[in-house]
Amino acid sequence: KLMNFIVDRFFIGVVLDNLVNVKNTFKDFKQKYREFDVLGKGSFGSVMSGVRLSDLTPVAIKHISIHKVDYMRVIWNGYCWDEVSEVVYMAQAAGRLRNGSEENCSVIGLIDVYDLKDEVLIIMEQPVGAMDIRKLCNRGVYYTEHQAKCIFKQLVDAVVLMHKNGIFHRDIKADNILVYLKEQKLSIKIIDFGCSDFVRESSHRRFAGTLAFAPPELFMQREYYAEPTTVWEIGRLLLDLYSKDKFHLRTFVKGPKPHFDFLSDECNDFINQCLTIDPKKRPSLIALQCHPWLV
């Protein structure tokens, strides 16, 4: 699939001075990196742990079957070529491509790209000890409200920057948030930009992401917008962190608002504000930054 980056998107080009050079040989990859264990699998392929051999820097290596790869046409300085869409989204979410973009340290770092005959390899940073929230919860890790507040403040700040940089992640969930200790403090990295798109004023009608986490307007109105959807996803993530019950949208829409006695009123309000059924009444991302629970 090829998206036309020049005609259909909201800006006419992209400055690619800082984008990594794409390699085309598996031999070059084997000379530079070594792979170890499987970190995760999905419909796209797999993610492996590994190291860069020159300095033993830990990396994550994402293998994407060539049949699952989307490309977009990029224009820069009179040149035009097809680039892996996920690479562009990831780099721009981190503020690396457009002039005037803001650096976003909570987006996983892009190191190398190998566009091979049968697959694409995306080499990313791998913070020491990092693990996604889903795996941590499955291992019995419980987050206190204070710890959750630390994580979600970083998450909200990160998606605000991401949207300012023009990128709509579309798949914010526990599997795509890495948590690790940095200088004895909880830190996050947002991963997996395979479902991403550019932020735009018009609605999205074709869904990409995880259907179980889709906002109600997708089913009720057959369309959704970037900011209200991201706010909904943040609320779902926090709800799932503490709820023992499996989420069912139909039951949620008809039922009472969730309330956890062991959480503060501010935290409960944050969850319910994010999970407002009417997308027009959901708070903006900027409003979430100013919510009493995070301030």
pLDDT band at 98 (very low <50, low <70, confident <90, very high): confident
Exactly one of 112, 115, 157, 171 is catalytic; name it: 171
Average pLDDT of the segment spanning 111-133: 95
Last residue of a domain, which of 125, 153, 187? 125
**Same domain, residue pair 148 and 283:** yes
**Same domain, residue pair 116 and 135:** no
**Same domain, residue pair 142 and 27:** no
Give the helix ranges, DSSP H, for the chain. 26-32, 85-93, 133-138, 145-164, 216-221, 226-242, 249-254, 265-274, 285-289
Residue 77 lies in a domain: yes
- pLDDT above 70 (res 15): no
Last residue of a domain, which of 104, 125, 146? 125
3-state helix, strand, coil in the chain (%, to 5): 35, 25, 40
Residue 145 lies in a domain: yes
In the chain, the number of structural domains is 2
pLDDT for 183: 87
59 a known binding residue? no
**Same domain, residue pair 170 and 48:** no
Which residues constitute the domain of residue 21? 2-125
44 a known binding residue? yes
**Cβ 186 vs Cβ 202: under 8 Å:** no
Cα–Cα distance measured from residue 52 to residue 191, given in angstroms and rounded to the nearest whole number: 19
Q: Which residue in this structure is represented by tokens 């006419």?
A: 12
- pLDDT above 90 (res 206): yes
161 a known binding residue? no
pTM: 0.91
**Same domain, residue pair 119 and 138:** no
DSSP state, residue 7: T
Angle between helices 265-274 and 226-242 (to 10 degrees): 140
36 a known binding residue? no
194 a known binding residue? no
pLDDT band at 23 (very low <50, low <70, confident <90, very high): low
Cα–Cα distance measured from residue 121 to residue 117, given in angstroms and rounded to the nearest whole number: 11
**Same domain, residue pair 163 and 29:** no
Instruction: Note the pLDDT tens digit of each residue in 215-250.
Output: 999 999 999 999 999 999 999 999 999 998 999 999
Residue 273 lies in a domain: yes
**Same domain, residue pair 155 and 60:** no
**Same domain, residue pair 158 and 275:** yes
49 a known binding residue? no
Residue 294 lies in a domain: no
**Same domain, residue pair 96 and 55:** yes
196 a known binding residue? no
Last residue of a domain, which of 95, 125, 155? 125
**Same domain, residue pair 272 and 237:** yes
Angle at 67 between CA 132 and CA 72, to 5 degrees: 85
**Cβ 192 vs Cβ 153: under 8 Å:** no
Cα–Cα distance measured from residue 39 to residue 46, given in angstroms and rounded to the nearest whole number: 8
* pLDDT-wise least confident of 40-49, 171-180, 271-280: 40-49
Residue 46 lies in a domain: yes
- pLDDT above 80 (res 22): no
Give the helix ranges, DSSP H, for 79-202. 85-93, 133-138, 145-164
32 a known binding residue? no
CATH number, domain of 95, equals: 3.30.200.20
Q: Which residue in this structure is represented by tokens 């699998």?
A: 41
Residue 295 lies in a domain: no
Q: Which residues pair with 179 in a beta bridge?
A: 131, 188
Mean pLDDT of the chain: 91
CATH number, domain of 173, equals: 1.10.510.10
246 a known binding residue? no
Structure tokens at 285: 């991302």
Q: Is 37 a catalytic residue?
A: no
Residue 153 lies in a domain: yes
pLDDT for 3: 41
